[in-house]
Each structure stands twice: as structure tokens, then as C-alpha cells.
Chains A and B, each alone.
Chain A
């Protein structure tokens, strides 16, 4: 959709205008896994949208008026309503827009997806710490912690005997946790799921999903971005453009 591959807006940039009728805007960053959640849901539900990328290393002043936390993703609709926090944006899109529901209707099944989401919550900071330290310090402790967290997820799939975390078809919880596993694929770290065969199978199944494959991160661009980002380089967010 428009803007997904556009240069990011940084400090000193003019605030964007009103969101056109019939579209929803997402403030994003091409390599942000949290924003990826929202983009996946927009794609999966076929929601018309425009993307404005934000330079997270050099944020525009006006962006804090959209989200006081200054983080992406942020949704803005043509009525000027703003929604932030990735999980909240995804749930909002599922509720507000027609078509295929990604969250189950059954209250218990919905609660189960949220409990799995909680189970996953240690992975993002762990994976980021791991990537920061790779090749620099000994990160065997982190590796072990990651294994532990992956084992928890493996246990869910084993117990349920289903391919996906929500059952036999792909649903919200799968999209919410996918972006970090996409990093493993892009960085050729698939060995980290060697001890968790069901998780490995899940990753393979996810790669076949149309929304996932159409938004799949470019491995070279991601590595370039990561190097610059970890050095706090202001150009990181636009790597490859």
C-alpha cells in the first residue's frame, strides 16, 4: 500500500494532513516488528490503508501528539481518532472492520489467545538483547533463556495438537508473534527452533500464508538496518531505499 517503502519522516518534517476518507493510516517503520503486527492484520483483512514511516532514531516533534510514548505503530483514521500499542491496534482493526475475524468469537478461545500472548511476552526483549550482543560477548545465557521461552510455546502446540496457536487455521495470535520468528528466518537463525519441532513446523506453515509472504522482510535490508540501528545511526530506518 502507499507509503510502505517511502523514506521516513524525521525531526523538522511537516506533520502529515488529514487521513483521506475510506483509508486508515498507520505510522510505521519498515523493520519494526511491533508495527509488522499491524501491517499483517491490515493485509490479512484487506483493509485499505496508507503508511507513513517514522524515523525512530530522529522522531518528528509532531509525532508525540499522535502517541505520547513516541512509538510505532499508531493508527489514525479519517475522523482523527488515534490508536496506539500494537496489540490494541490489531484488536481494534479486527473489531472495526468487516470480513474475516482474526480473533475467535468464543470468549474462552479469545482469552486463550491472550494467555498465549502473555506467554510470549519475554521473547521480544530477549531477542533484541541477543542481537545486540551477538559476536561481541558471550551470549550463551541469553541463548538458554530463549530456548526456555521457545519451549513454553512448543508446549502449547504439543498440548493442543494443532498447527497454529489458535487452532487448525491461522489467527490473530499467530500474526502477533510472527514478526520475531521472521527475524530468525531473515538472520538464518532457524537452528534456535531445532529443539522445538512443532514451533519449526509452525514457522514453515506461517511462511505459506499470503499476508506473511507478501510482507516478508528483505534479509539483506534487515541486516543492513540492524547494523546501523544498533550503532544508533540516524539513517538506519531508511536502509536500502
Chain B
């Protein structure tokens, strides 16, 4: 689905590694019956190859692509550095839920000061990592898997209306700026107005929300 942050991770990796692929978008509010043969709960993203092998869970899919396809490796080769990236992912685990809750609260006209505070705390933890490492990216001086795994939620801060949550985290703001310069990130950047159009329809429970911005 064009606006799903989890699927976005997988599309970033496909793009970064130059892997030829086709995309089938699923209407998440009106899932085709056959889709449950691809994923037991009908979630996305799911990878399917020509051998009919199915891989799901966004992180598992991303790692599979890095392992299975040649070219630039997004995970480091060193076992300790790989482990470090996976530990960093654990540090990130509250962010998706918190950003989603903020979005819902704001869209429903509710207060979300506590949620924003909690999100800012999570961002402080990530800020600390960048400060301690003294690197631009989370994996070092070059962009790598962990940066792509984090990125979709940061790209959405603005359209979700919570961009001010990075006001107190300068290293994180520098990281965001550096990410926006990455060719892979740029190639998949979603137009703000289209995203807002999607969000408006989504929160009106319009089943056509997912196709907003597509002509015909």
C-alpha cells in the first residue's frame, strides 16, 4: 500500500539494491479474499518470488533481500556491527505505535501532549546514540540498513503534524536532512499533498483512500 510505513521499508531496500520488482497494492480496508493465502492475517508487506516463496514481516523481508540479492550490502559484514544494528532496532520499537497514536489523536481533535512527550523521549534515546557514535548515520558514516528501517516514520512526522517532536534533537535533525539527500530516499519520497489527501480520506473511512492521487 502506497502509504504504509512498513511496506515503505521494503521498497527502500528494493530501490537501494536496484532489485527488479513489481508492486501489487492491496486495499487494506477491503482486502481481496485471495490475499489471505499470501499472509494469514492479510498484512503487508509480503514478498513473493517466482518460486512462490513468501516472506513477511517487514524486517525479515528486508534482511532476506539483502541476503538473497547481490550488489551493495546494506547490513554490515562484521558480525558485531550487524548485531549492533539489530540492537538499535530494539531501541526504536515504541516509535511506530507512538507516531500512529499521535496521528489518530490529532485527526480526531484530541489532546496528545503526553503522547508527544513520550515520542520526544524516544527521540532523545536515538539522539544519544548519534551523539555517542559521533556519526551522521545510525550505522556509521554511510547510510545502511538501520537508517532505511527507521526512515519511513521520520518522513511522516511532517504530514502527521508532529514535526516539532524533533525540536530538541539536533543530531536527529541532521540525520533527517542527510537522509533526504539520499538518492533512494528521494526516489520514493511521497508528495505531501497526496499524502494529506490520503489521510483525509482514510480518516473519513473512505475505501478509496489508498488510491488517492492515482489517475484512473
Residues of A within 8 A of B (CB): 81, 83-85, 88-89, 91-92, 95-96, 107-108, 110-111, 114-115, 118
The answer to whether B83 touches A108, judged by C-beta atoms less than 8 angstroms apart, is no
Contact of B63 with A by CB under 8 A: yes
The answer to whether B55 touches A115, judged by C-beta atoms less than 8 angstroms apart, is yes
- A238→B63 CA distance, assembly (Å): 40
Residues from chain A with a CB closer than 8 A to the CB of B84 are 83
Residues from chain A with a CB closer than 8 A to the CB of B83 are 83, 88-89, 91-92
A-B contact sample (4 more), CB < 8 A, given A85-B90, A114-B60:
A81-B80, A107-B67, A110-B63, A111-B55
Residues from chain A with a CB closer than 8 A to the CB of B23 are none
Residues from chain B with a CB closer than 8 A to the CB of A91 are 82-83, 86
What is the distance, in angstroms, from A172's C-beta to the closest C-beta of chain B?
14
The answer to whether A85 touches B60, judged by C-beta atoms less than 8 angstroms apart, is no
Contact of B53 with A by CB under 8 A: yes
Contact of B19 with A by CB under 8 A: no
Residues of B within 8 A of A (CB): 53, 55-57, 60-61, 63-64, 67-68, 79-80, 82-84, 86-87, 90
| Closest residue on chain A to residue B51 by CB atoms | A108
The answer to whether A114 touches B86, judged by C-beta atoms less than 8 angstroms apart, is no
Residues from chain A with a CB closer than 8 A to the CB of B63 are 110-111, 114
| Closest residue on chain B to residue A83 by CB atoms | B83
The answer to whether B64 touches A111, judged by C-beta atoms less than 8 angstroms apart, is yes
- A228→B173 CA distance, assembly (Å): 48
The answer to whether A111 touches B87, judged by C-beta atoms less than 8 angstroms apart, is no
A-B contact pairs, 21 of them (CB 8 A): A81-B80, A83-B80, A83-B83, A83-B84, A84-B87, A85-B86, A85-B87, A88-B87, A89-B83, A91-B82, A91-B83, A92-B82, A107-B67, A108-B64, A110-B64, A110-B67, A111-B60, A111-B63, A114-B57, A115-B60, A118-B57
Residues from chain A with a CB closer than 8 A to the CB of B61 are 111
Residues from chain B with a CB closer than 8 A to the CB of A108 are 53, 55, 64, 68
The 3 closest A-B CB pairs, nearest first, are A107-B67, A95-B79, A107-B68
